[in-house]
A and B are shown apart, each in its own frame.
Chain A
Amino acid sequence: MRLAGVARIVGLSLVAGSWTSAAEDIAAVLESSFMAKNQATMARLQQDAVQEVCSAPRGTPVEETVLSELRQQRLDAVVLPADGVFLGDWQRGAEVAGNGRGLQSSDDPTKPNGGNCYACHQLAPDEVAYGNLGPSLTGYGARGQSEPMLRYTWTKLWDTHAYNLCSHMPRFGAQGILSEQQLRDVMAYLLDPASPVNQTKQ
C-alpha cells in the first residue's frame, strides 16, 4: 500500500528497508485537520513527487536511483528566460530578497510575493537581520557573470532540486513564487558588482 504510493509516482520500486512514504494514510488525516483560509487552499496539502520523496525523516535511506531520476526530471523542466536576459535591476531585487510575505493565508494576494532570501541567507554585509538555514551569499558576485554561472544561479533559483534534491530552499520559479522579472532582479542583486551584496562592510 505504502510502497505503491512512491512507486507509482517515481516509476521505480524501492529496495526493502528503505523509507516509504505514508502519504496516502497521512492525506486523510490532514484532510480532516485543516480548513482552507483565504488563498491557503486545501489543495496545498497534496504532495508532488519531490515533496513526497523529500519527506523522509532525517537519516532514513532512500534509494539512489530514485533520487537521481527525480533530479534529472527537475533539471529537464527548468525554464530559462526566453530572451536570454538573466539580469534585471538589483535595487528591485533587494526588495524581493527582503520581502517575507506572499502566499500565506494572512497575505494580500494582490501584492507581489517576496523571495524572503534574508530569512535563510546573509546577503548585504550591513544587514544584521539574516537567518542561517542556507549559506552566506555575501560577495556572491565575485563568481562573475559567465554564461555557466548565469545558468547555474538561475537554475538554483528556478528549482533548487535540479542540483540538490531535497534541499530546504523553495522552488521560486517552478512553484510560481516569483515571476520571471523578479528572478532577473534577484539575479542582479546577487551578481551586479554595484549591488550591496558585493560591497565590503561599511
Chain B
Amino acid sequence: MKTVFFWSVCLALSLGAARVPADGVFDQYRDLMGDDNPAVFVIDEGEELWFTAQGPKSATLEACDLGLGSGVTAGAYVRFPRYFADTNEVMDVEARLVHCMTTIQGRDLESVTAKPYSLRGDLGTEIEALVTWLAAESEGETIAPEQTHAAEREMYVLGEEIFFYRAGPHDFSCATCHEQSEMRIRLQSLPDLTSHAGAANAWGSWPAYRISQGLVRTMGWRMRDCFRQQRWPELQMGSTTSIALQTYMAVNAAGGVMSAPGLKR
C-alpha cells in the first residue's frame, strides 16, 4: 500500500503532470513516508565503500584526511569547502575524495572522474554514495566552512562573482532565480541563496534523495543541473567554479544545521 502510493507519486512527479501544486503531492508523500528516506541505503553503501580496499594499491579510504585527520569522518563534511596544504588547494568533498582515490588507492584519475553523477535509471555512483555517507556523518552538526586561509576567503569572493555572472542566450546567472525570497519558477519554489536562511536550508539539505528520479543527488549535481537550465555548457565535478559556488553557499549558510540527506520532489 505504502509502496503503491510511493510509486504513483513518483510517476505523477516524473511525468510533470503538475496541474496541482507539486508541493501538495510532496507533502502527501512526506506524511506517508515520514522519515523513510530511501537515502539510508545509499548511506550504508557509502560507508561500505569507504572501508573497501580498491585500486592498484588495494587500499581502503581510511587513510584519507578530510581535514580533521586521517580517517576522521564524523563532523568533517560541515567544514567543507576548505584549504588543504598537501594539495595547496581549496577543495570540496567531491574533489577531496577523488584526490584520496588517486593517491591512496592509486586509481586512475580519468576513470574515477569519468561519470561522477548517475543518469536517470542508474543505480547511483560511488562518489554519490560516499558523499551521502559523509554528509550523514555530519548530521545535526553546525555548518561551519573554514574561512581562515586567504585562499578560502578568495574562493568565497570568486563564488559570489560567479553567482551573479550573466551569460548564455538567456542572460541567466544563479542570481536570476536565487537572489529574492518568495519566488518560484512555475510551481517550484526558489530559495534565496544570498540570504542566510535560504542558503542554510539549501546547503543543509544536500545531498538529497530526489523522489522524481529515484536517486540520491549531490550538490555538485544540483549545480550542474541548474547550469543546464541556465543554458551554459556542462559544469565539471571538482572544478574551481563548482568549489567557488559551494563556498559561497556554505559560508552564507554558516551557523545553520546539517540535516542531509534531504528529501526533494
The chain A residues found within 8 Å of chain B, CB to CB, are 22-23, 26, 29-30, 32-37, 40-42, 44-47, 50-51, 54-58, 100, 103-106, 118-120, 128-133, 168, 170-171, 175-177
Contact = CB atoms under 8 A, between A and B. Distances in A.
A99 to B, nearest CB: 12
A46 B185 CA distance: 26
Contacts of A36: 233-234
A176 B169 CA distance: 8
B246 to A, nearest CB: 12
Given A30-B165, A55-B164, 18 more contacts: A26-B162, A26-B165, A33-B242, A34-B232, A40-B228, A40-B231, A44-B232, A44-B233, A45-B167, A55-B161, A57-B161, A58-B179, A58-B194, A119-B186, A129-B186, A131-B183, A132-B183, A175-B171
Interface in B158-206: 158, 160-173, 175-177, 179-180, 182-187, 194
Given A34-B241, A58-B179, A44 B236 contact: no
A103 B231 contact: yes
B14 interface: no
Contacts, number: 130
B165 A177 contact: no
21 contacts: A26-B158, A26-B162, A30-B165, A34-B241, A36-B233, A40-B232, A40-B234, A44-B168, A45-B233, A56-B164, A57-B161, A58-B175, A58-B194, A103-B168, A103-B170, A119-B186, A128-B187, A130-B186, A132-B182, A170-B170, A177-B169
Give the most central of B18, B167, B180, B229: most A CB within 10 Å: B167
Contacts of A37: 233-234
A175 B165 CA distance: 17
A40 B232 CA distance: 6
Nearest to A28: B240
Contacts of B236: 33-35
Contacts of A100: 186
A54 B231 contact: no
Contact of A168 (B18, B20, B176, B229): B176
A178 to B, nearest CB: 11
Contacts of A118: 186
Contact of B166 (A22, A42, A51, A132): A51
A76 B242 CA distance: 38
Give the most central of A33, A57, A176: most B CB within 10 Å: A33
A40 B170 contact: no
Nearest to A113: B169
Interface in B102-156: none
Contacts of B59: none
B183 A106 contact: no
A44 B21 contact: no
Contacts of A132: 182-184
Contacts of A55: 161, 164-166, 173
B234 A105 contact: yes
Contacts of B161: 22, 26, 55, 57
